[in-house]
Amino acid sequence: MTITVAGEKKEYKEGLALPELIELEDVETPQYVTVSINDEFVATEDKESTVLKEGDSVEFLYFMGGGQ
Amino acid sequence: MRIIRADYRIYDDIVKYAKEHLPEEACGLIAGSEDEDGNRVIEKVYFLENIDHANDHFTLDPKDQMAAIKDMRALGLKQLGNWHSHPESPSRPSEEDIRLSFDSKASYMILSLMAENPVLNSYHVENGNYEKEDLRIISEDYFY
């Protein structure tokens, strides 16, 4: 199936789970990454159980913050 | 060491925005292009809300990040990293900045406003260590 990851169309197996995609995409420190699928943010507690489907568009957003 | 080039007007815009938001830290994203050697040109700066509204912390709202990333894509730009100001401390990553730098591909720019003249530096942060990048503010006529 075709999934768009960070704006780029890619082919993945059917029934790909979000944690698998995170691993395949080599996302650093995934615990600090916000994921959106089709412009909807995935709740932290739903990350493990989310399964992707044909045509999904996924974004990985790193937490950005700090302090002086 | 990676070279980061930015037009002086980008620098001026960051300083102006950060001063307007004193005493809070100001923040945003940087976008542009990257060559095969990893050297970067900043072509656009995004001025985003510091949802902490504090003088010693900043956090970007993921919704704002998302909107900025979509704009970058529409313009054919690459997300290069982020920037934030230090109203009362030097232009180098604090312990918290280092701890919260999760993207090793990002350039982390820090503008210090503690002295009369602003100081802007860019850093690569990875595994708890940071290295200064070669930030060059350029004009159409010369580099300095």
Q: A64 vs B89: CB contact, 8 Å cut-off? A: no
Does the pTM exceed 0.80?
yes
- In the predicted model, what is the mean pLDDT of residues B118-127? 96
Give, as one character, the DSSP assignment of residue A64.
Answer: -
pLDDT value of residue B91 = 97
| Arithmetic mean of pLDDT over chain B | 94
Q: A67 vs B56: CB contact, 8 Å cut-off? A: yes
Domain assignment of residue B143, yes or no: no
Total number of domains in chain B: 1
CATH, residue B132:
3.40.140.10
Q: Which domains does chain A have, with CATH numbers?
A: 2-62 (3.10.20.30)
Whether omega for the bond prior to residue B23 falls within 30 degrees of 0, making it cis, is yes
A with B: how many residue pairs have Cβ under 8 Å apart? 67
H-helix or E-strand containing B34?
strand B27-34
pLDDT value of residue B52 = 97
pLDDT value of residue A66 = 93
Taking CB atoms and an 8 Å cutoff, what residues of chain A touch B55?
68
Q: Where are the beta strands (DSSP E) in A1-68?
A: 2-5, 8-11, 33-37, 40-41, 57-62, 65-67
Domain assignment of residue B144, yes or no: no
Token couple for B12? 């001026």
Distance CA B137, CA A27 (A): 31
Tens of pLDDT along B53-95?
999 999 999 999 999 999 999 999 999 999 999 999 999 999 9
Q: A64 vs B82: CB contact, 8 Å cut-off? A: yes
Distance CA B30, CA B49 (A): 14
Show the domain range for B106. 3-138
Taking CB atoms and an 8 Å cutoff, what residues of chain A touch B27?
64
Domain assignment of residue B98, yes or no: yes
Domain assignment of residue B36, yes or no: yes
